A and B are shown apart, each in its own frame.
Chain A
Amino acid sequence: MADPSLRVLVVDDESAIRRYLRTALGAHGYRVLEAADAQTALASAAVERLDLIILDLGLPDLDGVEVTRRLREWTTLPILVLSVRGQEADKIAALDAGADDYLTKPFGAGELLARLRAVARRASSAPDEPVFTQGDLTVDLARRLVLVAGREVALTPTEYDLLRFLVTHAGKALTHLQLLRQVWGPGYEQEQHLLRVNISNLRRKLEPDVARPRYIQTEPGVGYRLRTGP
C-alpha cells in the first residue's frame, strides 16, 4: 500500500486514460492530479506539491521527451513515461533525458502499481546506502565487496564499475547510452559490444542461472535494469 499522501500528476491527452488512472490509483490512496497537455503539465508541476509524474509521450502540443527535459532542468521528481509500441526511440530518449522508468501501453494495473511503488521508493530512499542486497547477491559499496551466497566474487574494475552503477540505480531502467557514458566515459556511446560482454561476464559470475537472469534484467531495445524486490 502506497503512502496515502502521495500526489501523482497524470499527463495524457486522452480523457478515458486519465479517467482510468484516476480510478485505479485513487483506489490505492494516491491523490491524482490531471493535465491534458504539456503546457498545463509544466505549469502544474511548477506550482503543485507533487511526488510523481506519469507522462504520456504522445502529447498534442509538446513531445513528451521535451517535457522530460524541461522538468529535469529544475526537478528530480520521479517521472514514469507511458509509451506505445512503435515509440521505442522516444522512450529511450525520454529515459536518457532523465525519466525514471517506462510502461508500455496497454498495461495491467499490477504492473502500473509496482512500477509506481518502485519509482517512489527509489526517490525516497537515501541515495548513499552502502549495502545492496537482493536474494543471494550482496554488494557492499563502502568495502568494494561483492558476495554471492556469502562467497566473495572477484570482478574486473570495469565489471565492478558497471555493477556499482546498476546498484546505485537499482530498479531503474538504464539505457545503453547511460551505462556506456557512465562506466566507459564519453566517446564510447556506440560501443554496445563492450557493454554486452561485460554484462554477460557479470551474469556468469553473479547469476545462479545465466539463461534466466534474476538480478540483471535485459530491457529489450533499451538497456538493463538491476532487479529489486521479489
Chain B
Amino acid sequence: MPARPDPNHQSAVDRLTRASGPIDVHVVSGQPATIRAGAERSWLPHRPWSRYLNSLLLIVVVTVAGQPLRLFLSPTNVVMLYLAAVVYAAVVWGRGPAILASVLGVLAFDLFFVPPTFTLAVSDTEYVLTFIGLLVVGIVVSTLAAQAREQAEAAYARALQTGQLYDLSRGLAAAAELDELLSVLRRHVEKTFGRQAAILLPDGENLALRAASLDLALDEDERAAADWAFRHATPAGCNTANLSAARLRYLPLSTARGALGVLGVMGPAQPDRHLLPDQVRLLEAFASQGALAIERAELAQQAQQAEVLRAGEKLQAALLNSISHDLRTPLVSITGALSSLQEDSAALDADARRALLDNARGEAERLNRLVGNLLEMTRLEAGAVRVKSELVEVVDLVETGLEQLRDRLGDRPVVVDVPADLPLVPGDFVLLVQVLVNLLDNAFKYSPAAAPVEIRARAAGDAVEIEVADRGPGLPPEDLGRIFNKFYRVQRPGSVTGTGLGLAICKGLVEAHGGRVEAANWPGGGARFVVTLPLPPAAPHG
C-alpha cells in the first residue's frame, strides 16, 4: 500500500474494515506495519522476494543432487524429489514460492531428466501426465499449507489478543479505585499498542483529563475531538471519519448506560504505520473492557455514597430524637405542674404546691440552658461567633469560671495550679470562660461530689495548655473519639442529665480560637481535658 501524503485522512483500510462488518479483511502490506517488538510476529519472513529466490535455489539443489540418481532411478521416480521440494517450499515459504517451485520443478525435470535431455521436447507422452501431476500436486499442497499457516497465524494473533485482553481485565479487576483503574487502562494501552494514551471522563459539563501518558498534553482541537466522540458515542479523531485532524484517535468508553468517557490513543508516528484491523478491534475491546470497569467503579462509588448518606440520615434521626426528648422532658414537668395547680389545686397542700413550682422552675431553667446551648451551637456552626482578640490572663479565666459555678461547687475541693509567669493568651475572655465553665460543669457531673477537680495551666512551646481533670470513673476508652460530638453523652446508669452539647460547644469555641481540645484518662482513673491555645509568634528576645 502506498504511503499517503495526508495522514489525517481516514485510511482506506479503516473504511474497508468498518464497511466489511463480520467479514475478515486481511491486509497484506508492502512494508509490514510493525508496531512494536512485542507485538510483531517475528516468524513472518522479512523479505518476500527472498522466499522466491530460496525456492529457485531449492530446485537447483534438487536438480544437481538428482543427477547421480539417474543411474539408479527411472525419471518418474525422480519426480518425487521435486514433489518433496514443492511441499517443503509450501510449508516454509508459502504459496507463491511453492507454485514457483512446482513450475520450475516441471521445467527442470523436463530439461535434465526427461529424454531428450537439455531440451523441452518430450519424447514420451506419458511424461506430460507426470508434469501435470507435479504441477497440480504443487498447487494443491501449497494452497493447503498456506491455509494451515494462515490459520496458525490467526490463532497466534487471537491468542496474543486474548492474552492482552486477559492481562487488561486482570489489571482492571485488581484496581480498587477509579484513578487506579484509569492508570491501569492507560498503561495497558501504552504497552500493547506502543502509543501514548489518554483517558477523559466527564466532570460537570466538560470532559476532564483523568489519566494521560507522560508529556501528553491535549490542546483545544484534541479536546473538541474527544468531546465529539463522547457526545456522539462514536469514534473520532485521527484515522476516523470524524474530526480526523486530531492527533489522537478517540474511542468512546461505552456501556449500556451510554458513554462514560473517552479513551484517546495517539495516531501513528509515521503516516503509513496504521493499526492493523485486528489491532483496531483489540483497541475497541480494550475500550469496552475499560468502560465496564469504570461503570463498575462508579456504581461502587455511588453505592458507597448512598451508604454514607444513609448513615448520615440515621445520625440525623438519632440527633432529632435526642433533641426532641431533651426539649420535651422539661415540658412534661412544667405542663404537669401548671395543670395540677390549675385543675387540681384543691387537692394540693402548700408543700405539694411548692414542690411542683420548684420542679417546674428547675425544668424551665434546664430548658433555657438547652435552648441556649442549641443556639450557641448553631451560631458556632454557622460561623456567626465573633472572637474578640484581647490578651487574657489564664488565672482570671479560672477565677471567673469558678465564680460562675459557685452554686455547684459546694464543698468539692478544687486544685488550681497556674504559674505566675504564664504568658497572656490572645482570645475572647467571655468565650474562653465559657469553655472553662463547660469543662468544669462536665467534671462536676461525672465525678462524685467530694472528688477533687484540678485546673492546671502551663506553657508548652508556642502554646498554652489549660487542663481540667476530675477523679471520677474516667471516660470509656471507646468514647474518647466521639466525646466532642454533638449530642453525644457517655451512657451512665446514674442518669446524668445534660444536653450533650457542652463539650461540642467547647470544641467549637476553642477551634474558633485556633486551638484544640483533647480528652484523655488518668492512668489511675478520672478524665482529663486539655485545651491548647496558640500564642502569637514570639516577639524577638531582648
Contact = CB atoms under 8 A, between A and B. Distances in A.
- The answer to whether A and B come from one shared complex is yes
Contact of B359 (A23, A26, A61, A86): A23
B219 interface: no
B441 to A, nearest CB: 18
A74 interface: no
Contacts of A16: 329-330, 332-333, 359, 362-363, 366
B323 to A, nearest CB: 11
A105 B331 CA distance: 8
Contact of A86 (B324, B331, B355): B324
Given A16-B362, A20-B359, A28-B347, A106 B340 contact: no
Interface string B416-427: 000000000000
B339 interface: yes
B99 to A, nearest CB: 86
Contact of B356 (A14, A20, A58, A105): A20
A13 interface: yes
A16 B321 CA distance: 19
A37 interface: yes
B352 A13 contact: no
B368 to A, nearest CB: 14
18 contacts: A14-B497, A15-B497, A16-B366, A17-B332, A20-B340, A23-B337, A23-B348, A24-B337, A24-B352, A24-B356, A26-B352, A37-B495, A84-B325, A106-B328, A106-B335, A107-B336, A110-B344, A112-B336
A4 interface: no
Interface residues of A, number: 28
B332 A20 contact: yes
B126 interface: no
Question: Which of under 10, 10 to 19, 20 to 34, or 35 or more describes the interface residues of B?
Answer: 20 to 34
Contact of B493 (A21, A37, A105, A112): A37
A89 to B, nearest CB: 13
Given A15-B495, A27-B352, A108 B336 contact: yes
Given A16-B359, A24-B344, A27-B348, A106 B324 contact: no
A27 B495 contact: no
Interface of A: 13-17, 19-21, 23-24, 26-28, 36-37, 58, 60-61, 84, 86, 105-110, 112-113
A84 B328 contact: yes
A20 B333 contact: yes
B344 A113 contact: yes
A20 B336 CA distance: 7
A86 B347 CA distance: 33
B491 A20 contact: no
A36 B362 contact: no
Contacts of B332: 14, 16-17, 20, 105-107
Instruction: Please indicate which of the listed interface residues B331, B340, B363 has the most CB atoms of chain A within 10 Å of its own CB.
Output: B340
A155 B393 CA distance: 85
Given A19-B359, A20-B333, A106-B331, A13 B324 contact: no
Nearest to B328: A84
B349 interface: yes
Contacts of B366: 16
Contacts of A19: 333, 355, 359
Given A60-B491, A107-B336, A23 B355 contact: yes
Contacts of A60: 491, 493, 495
Given A15-B495, A37-B493, A23 B356 contact: yes
Instruction: Please indicate which of the listed interface residues B321, B332, B359 has the most CB atoms of chain A within 10 Å of its own CB.
Output: B332
A19 B335 CA distance: 13
B204 to A, nearest CB: 40
B343 interface: yes
B389 to A, nearest CB: 41
A21 B335 CA distance: 12
Contact of A24 (B334, B336, B495): B336
B346 to A, nearest CB: 9
**6 closest Cβ contacts across the A-B interface?**
A108-B339, A106-B335, A109-B340, A109-B339, A20-B333, A106-B332
B335 A108 contact: yes
Nearest to B335: A106
